[in-house]
Amino acid sequence: MKSAYELAMERLNKASPTVKMTAEKKKQLAELDSKYAAKIAEREIFLKDNLAAAAAKGDYEAVAQLEKQLVSERKSIHAELEEKKEKARRAS
């Protein structure tokens, strides 16, 4: 007798079978991860320098604004990464 988990996995595989990724696709996805990790690190370094300068001046409004900018840029870069990864996965 099959467990509920096994039955659910069978239904899932029928509805959307798993796609095997080739080594080339895995390499492309790894390259995208690496490229976008570098972009995020670059922005963090730049903005953290500005954050430190603003904090040293005592400009806490600028610190808050820069922190919001950092979070926003991380989200936008991550969204761009996910979009490119999805395109790479769908490409034949």
Q: In whole angstroms, what is the distance from residue 28 CA to residue 12 CA?
A: 27
Neighbours of 51 (CB within 10 A): 19
Domain ranges of the chain: 21-90
Q: In whole angstroms, what is the distance from residue 58 CA to residue 76 CA?
A: 28
**pLDDT reported for residue 20:** 78
Instruction: Per-residue pLDDT tens, the chain, 92 aa: give them.
Output: 889 999 888 888 888 766 677 889 999 999 999 999 999 999 999 998 999 999 999 998 999 999 999 999 999 999 999 999 999 888 85
Helix (H) or strand (E) holding 69: helix 60-90
Q: Which residues contact 43 (CB under 8 A, 6 or more apart)?
A: 70, 73, 74, 77
Look at the pTM and tell me if it is higher than 0.95: no
